[in-house]
A and B are shown apart, each in its own frame.
Chain A
Amino acid sequence: MAKDITAIEVTDLNLNYGTTHTLKNISMRIKSHSVTAFIGPSGCGKSTFLRCLNRMNDFIPSASVSGSVMIDGRDIYAPGVDVIELRKKVGMVFQKPNPFPMSIYDNVAFGPRIHGVKDRTILDGVVESSLRGSALWDEVKDKLHSPANGLSGGQQQRLCIARTIATEPEVVLMDEPTSALDPMATAKIEELCRQLKEKYTVVIVTHNMQQAARISDDTAFFLMGDLIEFGPTDRIFTSPEDKKTGDYITGRFG
């Protein structure tokens, strides 16, 4: 296992919303084929930081970013970067399951189709392998052409994961993917995260510290736009170096 290859290298990243300094001098190295968790109280900037990694913040006109985010040796904020290619490489799963109002099959095939795959046999293959990859195949294989909205919340979220991995990304970003789900569905997604790192680099934002402890290899703690502490999860949860991290983990605030 090539555990120590860098997937994403962030250097001195700053983000301003208008005059609000939302992210302050963030630098970190996210390891390839690992699960990295971002924790911190709400409003600390962890979701905003996640969205910097596939440039989803581009849609907020007042947001301005400085610093660099290197993925595959290229700065994704350099001029001339193809955002479309970037987002194909860095997929994202959102807080609330957001399947398109189409069939299960069309949801998963959406990405490959817009990226030019027309051949039915290839699409069938991608749909099956992606749904297997998100542990949903057995539940939906007989109703691939029924509407995705008919699935349960947990199934919808796994469908969204399948939809994301169908474009064969290198990185999968997850923005509090279980916050809208019940404990059973959450357990399934967590299990899935551990499997996903075999093939992808997973970065997950969570408000649930137990979740971070259960599934992640590395953990980053954010507070008011600052990256307070970043390191192996076992160490962060057992012997945090910063007092604020300790206070948050032991539930003294947040």
Chain B
Amino acid sequence: MNEKTPGAVITAIASVSLVIMVFLLYFLLQEGLPALREVSIRELILGFDWYPTEEPPALGMAPLIVGSLSVTALSALIAIPLSIAIAVFLSEVAPTWVQEVLKPALELLGFLPSIVLGFLGMVVLAPWLQESFDLLSGLNLLNASVLMGAMIIPIVASLAEESFQAVPRELRDASFALGATRWETIRKVVFPAALPGLLSASLLGIMRALGETMVVLMAAGGAALVPVSIFDPVRPLTSAIAAEMGETPVGSTHYHALFFAGLILLAMTLGINLISMWIEKKGKERWMA
């Protein structure tokens, strides 16, 4: 039997990922860039009017971009501190039996479909917000950000917990042996040592929030406006794509503009992903030294 053949076949199949990545970039560029033939890049990115079905269409994505960034920022603000608290709890404080229950539960929570969260935002959170704060609609930036926070807590908390666990046991021992309390050990030894991992975990959570669709599609209100308060509705890039692509003629300027929105999303998430990879590498190098 020829020993070379299976290796070649395996390598060929492995290249499928490469092919998918190349096709993904190719199609987004091919379908997204034509938008620039009809609208200047300046207007596309900095324009404040998104009326894609008017004649002629106004395709300014600034409100969509601001929408994406505001939901992401607010949800990160809610979720990251809580996630890190939970990770510290799981790694440093919780008794073993609590760990054994809570860790799988947290992981399971990560599988919660985003449509379910979006649905809860519509039927539970929105009416409550509307009544409590006397609003016209409870579907807004705050609603979507709270749910998005719930969406990324399992991701950030699990990864953060892993980076706490990666801190060598010996460092904790050394700190305790010097008479430090548990909190002092966490704050002064474990936390600084885990910091690169925590940064990377937070970035991956932020990346997930930027790209998440269903939660914002259902709970963010959908108005293509730049929000001035947390009770304003927003229309992030992802929800614009999901809501409008179905009703857009293939090849129209609007169609190309939505692909361009996809390109913006891809660029932002890839950028964050690369930064987090770089931080992880730096963190590992620090341990090697």
Whether chain A touches chain B in the assembled complex (some CB pair under 8 Å): yes
Chain A interface residues (CB < 8 Å from chain B): 54, 56, 59, 61, 84-88, 91-92, 94, 96, 98-102, 110-111, 114-115, 147, 149-150, 160, 163-164, 167
Indicate whether B113 reaches chain A with its CB closer than 8 angstroms: no
Residues A101 and B176 in contact in the complex (CB < 8 Å), given A96-B170, A147-B289 = no
Residues 190-216 of B at the A interface (beta carbon under 8 Å): 192-193
Q: Which one, B180-188, B219-227, B248-256, is touching chain A?
A: B180-188
Interchain CB contact under 8 A, A91 and B177:
yes
In angstroms, Cα B180 to Cα A110, docked, is: 9
**Highest count of chain A CB atoms <10 Å: which of B171, B175, B176, B181:** B176
In angstroms, Cα B95 to Cα A105, docked, is: 34
Provide the residues of chain B in CB contact with A100, threshold 8 Å: 171, 174-175, 189, 193
Q: What is the chain A residue whose CB lies nearest that of B193?
A: A101
Shortest beta-carbon distance from B47 to chain A in Å: 48
Interchain CB contact under 8 A, B96 and A87:
no
Shortest beta-carbon distance from A114 to chain B in Å: 5
Interchain CB contact under 8 A, B180 and A114:
yes
Interchain CB contact under 8 A, A94 and B173:
yes
Interchain CB contact under 8 A, A167 and B178:
yes
In angstroms, Cα B169 to Cα A94, docked, is: 12
Residues A98 and B178 in contact in the complex (CB < 8 Å), given A61-B95, A150-B289 = no
Residues A111 and B179 in contact in the complex (CB < 8 Å), given A101-B193, A101-B286, A150-B289 = yes
In angstroms, Cα B175 to Cα A94, docked, is: 11
List 7 contacting pairs A-B, 8 Å CB cutoff, sorted by A: A91-B177, A94-B173, A98-B170, A101-B171, A114-B178, A114-B184, A164-B178
Indicate whether B7 reaches chain A with its CB closer than 8 angstroms: no
Provide the residues of chain A in CB contact with B170, threshold 8 Å: 94, 96, 98
Residues A56 and B173 in contact in the complex (CB < 8 Å), given A84-B179, A111-B178 = yes
Indicate whether B6 reaches chain A with its CB closer than 8 angstroms: no
Indicate whether B246 reaches chain A with its CB closer than 8 angstroms: no
Contact of A98 among B173, B179, B188, B286 (CB under 8 A): B173
Contact of A149 among B173, B174, B289 (CB under 8 A): B289
Nearest 10 A/B pairs, CB to CB: A88-B179, A98-B170, A92-B177, A87-B179, A111-B178, A98-B174, A149-B289, A84-B179, A114-B180, A114-B184
Provide the residues of chain A in CB contact with B174, threshold 8 Å: 94, 98-100, 160, 163
Indicate whether B168 reaches chain A with its CB closer than 8 angstroms: yes
Contact of B178 among A61, A91, A102 (CB under 8 A): A91
In angstroms, Cα B184 to Cα A88, docked, is: 14
**Highest count of chain A CB atoms <10 Å: which of B171, B180, B189:** B180
In angstroms, Cα B22 to Cα A253, docked, is: 65
Shortest beta-carbon distance from A240 to chain B in Å: 32
Provide the residues of chain A in CB contact with B171, threshold 8 Å: 98, 100-101
Provide the residues of chain B in CB contact with A150, threshold 8 Å: 289
Contact of A101 among B180, B181, B192 (CB under 8 A): B192
User: Could you list 6 further interchain pairs (A-B, Cβ under 8 angstroms) beyond the known A56-B176, A88-B179?
Assistant: A84-B180, A87-B177, A91-B177, A92-B177, A115-B179, A164-B177
Provide the residues of chain A in CB contact with B168, threshold 8 Å: 98
Interchain CB contact under 8 A, B179 and A114:
yes
Q: What is the chain A residue whose CB lies nearest that of B195?
A: A101
Shortest beta-carbon distance from B75 to chain A in Å: 31
Shortest beta-carbon distance from A184 to chain B in Å: 22
Contact of A54 among B177, B184, B188 (CB under 8 A): B177
**Highest count of chain B CB atoms <10 Å: which of A56, A98, A102, A167:** A98
Residues A167 and B96 in contact in the complex (CB < 8 Å), given A94-B174, A102-B192 = no
Shortest beta-carbon distance from B285 to chain A in Å: 11
Q: What is the chain A residue whose CB lies nearest that of B177?
A: A92
In angstroms, Cα B187 to Cα A110, docked, is: 12
Shortest beta-carbon distance from A43 to chain B in Å: 19
In angstroms, Cα B67 to Cα A151, docked, is: 50
Provide the residues of chain A in CB contact with B177, threshold 8 Å: 54, 56, 87, 91-92, 94, 164
Residues 273-289 of B at the A interface (beta carbon under 8 Å): 286-287, 289
Provide the residues of chain B in CB contact with A111, threshold 8 Å: 178-180
Provide the residues of chain B in CB contact with A98, threshold 8 Å: 168, 170-171, 173-174
Q: What is the chain B residue whose CB lies nearest that of A150?
A: B289
Provide the residues of chain B in CB contact with A61, threshold 8 Å: 95-96
Provide the residues of chain A in CB contact with B286, threshold 8 Å: 101, 149
Residues 90-132 of B at the A interface (beta carbon under 8 Å): 95-96
Provide the residues of chain A in CB contact with B189, threshold 8 Å: 100
Q: What is the chain B residue whose CB lies nearest that of A101?
A: B193
Provide the residues of chain A in CB contact with B181, threshold 8 Å: 84, 114
Q: What is the chain A residue whose CB lies nearest that of B174?
A: A98
Provide the residues of chain A in CB contact with B173, threshold 8 Å: 56, 92, 94, 98
